[in-house]
Amino acid sequence: MRRLELLIPAAVLTLVVLAVLFAPLLAPHQPLEQNLDDVLGSPSAQHWFGTDSLGRDILSRMLYGGRVSLSSAAIALAVFVALGVPLGLWAGFTSGPADRTITWLADLLLALPTVIILLVVLAVFKDNEVVTMVALGVTGSTSMIRVVRGATKAVRGQVFVVSAEGAGLNQWHILRRHVLPHVRGPITVQATFFAATAVLVETSLGFLGLGVQAPRPTWGNLVGESIQQIQPAPWFLLITGGVVALVALCVGLVGDAIRDMTATEPDLPSPSRPARARPGTASTSPSSGVLALENVTVCHGGVTPLVTDVSFALRAGEVVGLVGESGCGKSMTARAALGLLPDGVELVSGVVRVDGADVAVLSSAARRRLLGRLIGYVPQDPVPSLDPSFTVGSQLAEVVATEPGLSRAEVRERCADLLRRVRVPDVPRVLASYPHQISGGMAQRVNIALAMALRPRILIADEPTTALDVTVQAEILDLLRTLAAEQDLAVLLVTHDWGVVADLCERAVVMYAGEVVEISPVATLFARPSHPYTRALLRADLRGSTPFSQLPTIPGVVPAAGAWAYGCRFADRCVLAADECRAGPVPLRSTPDGVARCVRSDELQKAGVR
Ligand SMILES: Nc1ncnc2c1ncn2[C@@H]1O[C@H](COP(=O)(O)OP(=O)(O)OP(=O)(O)O)[C@@H](O)[C@H]1O
């Protein structure tokens, strides 16, 4: 079906272009040949499209006119692509002054009124169609620059591009071989839409009596003439306008079809991509996990690291807590796993594996689509995460209906079933309610139902109970525990709350200043933390404190992203820090049942104190 959506308009366009190209062979009459005995004759066997006010054959004039109109559109399109693609690629690939200058120029062009520019060009260059079309291509190229720049930025952070740079390939080679193939889709779509616009602009200029002048035919001249003859010969406009509209429509449909095809056929992970092993982290990154992050590094603006070299894995049915102070990189890590990094933040190296397949090599849009099905996401703020304009039922149905082949009744039943599974008491009422009509706890159940709608294998919950009161928190945690156990879900739980970790998680990943500092089973972690940061965090927890005694705190604050100490990043706040800690980066070391990034982890383990 999709192929037909492309093939039919493409076939029509090909026929029109061929007919126009071979006009001297196909046209039954000369375009300027007059017959004043047969003016404004309606379509007949001799004149398929009829005759005009001077008895000239309209079909022949359309065939010859198309040569001017389509070649003009082709000139504009060539300029549009020749300017827009390289500038967009360059801006997207090289952040900094080049990017800023090109973006500024594109903004400037956008601010100029195209119609006025074209009229000025026509006046200055005496109706020169070629110069006018060049001007149209230049002014239009802003949209191509912007789209290509955005698409290039998305590809820029992909691991394979970083690897190509690391291999010393030059920028133009990387752009041509590794970036261009991934931005081909948006380029084709932009080009087809601009081609349709160029045909219509050329026609409009001819219609206004600008550009190529009569008696030389162009589609614009013919449409202009047909409007003057609308009363005696209405079919004249119907035919000339119809051909122009058909061509513009087919160009647009080809663009739509290409867009849809490129949107639903993402690049698949390349099986030939070499595995990149790094020392010191293998023990934390078993690729057998249902979700595995291997040496993930995330940067802002391509330069400021937010998260570095993070590796850990989740097994099916396992709940893992991701713990650390605010700003340590928990959310960025979770978002890297989801393929949902904020604008300007990119995964610059590392691998995210789902069921063993490397999803980091996918384009970001394809990764999002894939992970959207494999990984469910439960947000921190339950109510704002739901769209206030739609009922719970319609929001659930929207997601459920993306599964092909479901009838409306089946979608409704699936939505109700999802709510029952997350223990919503009055399902029909909640389905018919708007988000503001339900409580925070109920909204979080709805978010969990939404996350579960496509039967994901993994659930990532970013502080899912922070915004809820204590009793509701317990219910939501119990629900997550049950879902993980019953449906063999791997759950990554981002939290500040040790109580939640103790209650729900089997293992915890502790992060500090953008890196993993400890991974241990929860029981071990509570009894014998292997990193001074874990120990300090546990000590600072309210739960273990004595009433009216002063709560221990960790002196200092988490350093800003990238402004980390050269050696152990926690050294400045650590009561156990020694010169050795500041001498250089501390690698993760194995502990009896996990890993820790501390030169004194053995000592801490043995001491077994909190
Ligand atoms: N959109 C963004 N652009 C650039 N930097 C960001 C962005 N969001 C967060 N950061 C920075 O990334 C680092 C890690 O932030 P992250 O949100 O992952 O921390 P967190 O441990 O989840 O904190 P919290 O518990 O407060 O959510 C911080 O230094 C933060 O300032």
Burial of 547 from C-beta contacts in 10 A (0-12 / 13-18 / 19+): exposed
The arithmetic mean of pLDDT across residues 303-312, rounded, is: 92
For ligand 1, atom 1, name the residue with the nearest CA: 342
Domain ranges of the chain: 2-264, 291-505, 522-610
More confident residue, 78 or 214: 78
Nearest atom (ligand 1) to Cα of 329: 18
| Predicted local confidence at residue 159, as pLDDT | 44
Find out whether the beta carbon of 327 lies less than 6 Å from any atom of ligand 1: yes
Share of the chain above pLDDT 70, in %: 88
Q: Once rounded to an integer, what is the mean pLDDT over residues 389-400?
A: 86
Residue 311 CA to ligand 1 center (angstroms) comes to 18
231 Cβ partners below 8 Å, 6+ apart?
none
Arithmetic mean of pLDDT, 134-143: 92
Ligand 1 atom 31: residue of nearest CA: 327
By alpha-carbon position, which residue is closest to atom 18 of ligand 1?
Answer: 329
| Ligand 1: centre distance to CA 419 (Å) | 32
Query: Is residue 345 in contact with ligand 1, taking CB distance under 6 Å?
Result: yes
Mutate to test the pocket of ligand 1, among 323, 325, 328, 332 (most ligand atoms within 8 A of CB): 332
- ipTM score: 0.98
* pLDDT value of residue 165: 57
- Cα gap 267→561, rounded to integer Å: 32
Q: How far is the CA of 415 from the centre of ligand 1 (A)?
A: 34
Query: What is the Å distance from ligand 1's center to 295 Cα?
Result: 18
Cα 466 to ligand 1 centre (Å): 17
Lowest mean pLDDT among 48-57, 206-215, 420-429: 206-215
Q: Which of 330, 343, 509 to mutate to test the pocket of ligand 1 (most atoms within 8 A of CB)?
A: 330
CATH superfamily of 291-505: P-loop containing nucleotide triphosphate hydrolases (3.40.50.300)
Instruction: Look at residue 275 in the predicted model and tell me its pLDDT.
Output: 34
Q: Which residue's CA is the closest to the ligand 1 atom numbered 17?
A: 331
Tell me how far the alpha carbon of residue 331 lies from the centroid of ligand 1, in angstroms: 7
Q: Which residue has the tokens 């390349």?
A: 270
CB of 510 within 6 A of ligand 1: the answer is no
pLDDT of residue 35: 86
Q: How much is the pLDDT for 609?
A: 54
Six-digit token string for 328: 């340590």
Element (H, E) at 350: strand 345-354
Distance 380 CA to ligand 1 centre (A): 14
Average pLDDT, the chain: 84
Residue 157 main-chain phi, psi, to 5 deg: -85, 0
The closest residue, in CA terms, to atom 29 on ligand 1 is 561
- How many whole angstroms separate alpha carbon 148 and alpha carbon 104? 15
Q: Considering only residues 92 and 156, tell me which one the structure prediction assigns the higher pLDDT.
A: 92
What is residue 492's predicted lDDT score, i.e. its pLDDT?
A: 95
Nearest-CA residue for ligand 1 atom 14 is 329
CATH (residue range 2-264): 1.10.3720.10
Give tens-digit pLDDT for 575-598: 888 888 998 889 999 988 899 999
How many A from CA of 313 to the centre of ligand 1?
Answer: 21
Residue of the CA atom closest to atom 16 of ligand 1: 329
Q: Does 326 contact ligand 1 (Cβ within 6 A)?
A: yes
The confidence band for 53, taking pLDDT boundaries of 50, 70 and 90, is: confident
* Nearest ligand 1 atom to alpha carbon 343: 1
pLDDT at 390: 81
What residue's CA is closest to ligand 1, atom 2? 342
Question: Which range (12-21, 315-324, 375-384) has the least confidence?
Answer: 375-384
Q: Band the pLDDT of 369: cuts 50, 70, 90.
A: low
3-state secondary structure of 299: strand
Confidence (pLDDT) at 288: 55
Residue-wise pLDDT tens digits, 308-333: 999 999 998 899 999 999 999 999 99
- Ligand 1 center–CA 535 separation, angstroms: 23
How would DSSP label each residue in 539-604?
Answer: HT-GGGPPTTSPPP--SS-PPPTT---SS-TTGGG-TT--HHHHSSPPPPEEETTEEE--TTHHHH
Q: Which phi and psi angles does 62 have, rounded to 5°?
A: -65, -40
pLDDT exceeds 80 at position 155: no
CA of 559 to the centre of ligand 1 (A): 12
With a cut of 50, say whether residue 265 has pLDDT above it.
no
Ligand 1 atom closest to Cα of residue 335: 18
Most confident segment among 27-36, 156-165, 515-524, 575-584: 515-524
- CB 302 less than 6 A from any atom of ligand 1: no
Average pLDDT over residues 517-538: 92
- pLDDT for position 158: 58
Q: How far is the CA of 545 from the centre of ligand 1 (A)?
A: 29
pLDDT score at 406:
87
pLDDT at 396 over 50: yes
Say yes or no: CB of residue 379 within 6 Å of ligand 1: no
Burial 121-131 (b: 16+ CB within 10 A, else e): bbeeeeeebeb
**Residue 541 confidence (pLDDT) above 80:** no
CB atoms closer than 10 angstroms to residue 595: 24
Cβ of residue 300 lying under 6 Å from some atom of ligand 1: yes
497 Cβ partners below 8 Å, 6+ apart?
465, 466
Query: Does position 112 have pLDDT exceeding 90, yes or no?
Result: no
Of the ranges 41-50, 214-223, 422-431, which one carries the lowest mean pLDDT score? 214-223
Q: How far is the CA of 560 from the centre of ligand 1 (A)?
A: 9
Does residue 561 have its Cβ closer than 6 Å to ligand 1? yes
Q: Which residues contact 367 (CB under 8 A, 6 or more apart)?
A: 266, 339, 359, 360
> With 80 as the cut, is the pLDDT of residue 171 above it?
no
C-beta 324 within 6 A of ligand 1: yes
Whether 353 is in the pocket of ligand 1, judged by its Cβ within 6 Å, is no
Contact 431, 477 (CB under 8 A): no
Q: Which pLDDT band holds residue 544 (cuts at 50, 70, 90)?
A: low
- Residue 180 pLDDT class (50, 70, 90 cuts): confident
Q: What are the residues facing 462 on neighbouring strands?
A: 494
Higher pLDDT, 545 or 216: 216
Ligand 1 centroid to Cα of residue 332, in Å, is 6
Residue with more model confidence, 377 or 392: 392
Strand ordering across the sheet containing 507-512: 375-378, 458-462, 490-495, 319-323, 507-512, 515-521, 594-596, 589-591
Residue 212 near residue 129 (C-beta atoms within 8 A): yes
Q: Ligand 1 centroid vs 549 CA: distance in angstroms?
A: 32
Instruction: Please give the Cα distance from 199 to 196 (Å, whole number).
Output: 5
CA 73 – CA 20 distance, rounded (Å):
13
Decide whether any atom of ligand 1 lies within 6 Å of the 306 Cβ.
yes
pLDDT band at 186 (very low <50, low <70, confident <90, very high): confident
Nearest atom (ligand 1) to Cα of 332:
18
- Confirm or reject: Cβ of 330 under 6 Å from ligand 1: yes
pLDDT in tens, 445-504: 998 998 888 888 899 998 888 877 877 888 888 888 888 888 888 999 999 888 889 888
The CB of 339 under 6 Å from ligand 1? The reply is: no
- C-beta separation of 598 from 534 below 8 A: no
